Amino acid sequence: MAKGWNTESNARSRARGAKVRVKSARGRKSSSTRWLQRQLNDPYVAEAQRLGYRSRAAFKLIELDDRYDLLKGARRVVDLGCAPGGWTQVLAERLPEDSQIIGIDLQEVEPIAGAKLWVMDFLSEDAEERLIAEMDGPADVVLSDMANSATGHKQTDQIRTLALCEAAFDFAIKVLGKNGSFAAKVLAGGADTALLKRMQKHFRMVKHAKPPSSRAGSKEWFVVAQGFKGLAELDVE
C-alpha cells in the first residue's frame, strides 16, 4: 500500500533566513537571472549541496522510494538518463553493496562507487542489446529520468518526453523480473491512455506521482508501476 509523502526530510531541507535576491547583470538574460535566483532560494538545492548529491533530483527518487518502497529488495537496477548522477547516488546508498547498478546517459557522468556508468544513446539500435548483455540477470527496477531539452512548446515537449517514457517502458518489460518495478518521468497530463493501459496489463499497480521536491510550477510528473506480472502470468491471463 502506498504511504504518504515523508515530510520529515522535507522539513529538514527547508532553508532558513532571508530570501536571496539576484540583481540583473549586463549580458545576462532575464531568464538566467530568474533561474539563478530560484536556485539560490531553493531549499532542495541547498540540502543537495550539504549532503553531497549532484542534483536536487536525488530527492525525487528518495521521496518516491519512501512512499512506494520502490527499491525494497532490489539488487539489480538500470538508471536511464542518469546525468549528473543524483539518482545513481541514491541507488548506491540504498541498495546492498553487492548490487548491480547500471546508469546510462548521453553525457559523461563522473564515477560513482558501486555503479557502472556508460555514455550511450538509449535510442540507438544496439543500446538495449548492450545493456541486456551487461546485466547479470533480470532487473528488479528500471528507472527513467530521461527528458528532451525543452522547446517551450507545451504539446511538443509532452509528446517528446512521452516517447522517451514509452521507449523506457518497452525496455523495462523485456528485462524486469517478476514483481519488478518501473518509474519514469512524464509531463503534465501524465502518460496517455494507451500507454497506461499497456502498463496496467503488465503491472499490478500503476500510479502518477508528483514528489514534493518536484517544483510546484513544474510540468513534471512521474509514472510508477509495480508488481511486474512476467510473461508467464500474462500468457495465463
Q: How far is CA 28 from the centre of its chain?
A: 31
Amino acid at site 24: S
Do the beta carbons of residue 115 and residue 103 sit within 8 Å? yes
Residue 75 grid coordinates: 539488487
Tally the C-alpha atoms within 13 A of residue 214's C-alpha that lie toward its C-beta.
19
Nearest to 101 by CA among 71, 123, 69: 71
Q: ∠64-167-207 over CA atoms, to 5°?
A: 35
How far apart are the C-alpha atoms of 172 and 224, rounded to whole Å? 12
Amino acid at site 161: T
- Catalytic positions: 185
For 166, the enclosing helix (H) or strand (E) is helix 154-175
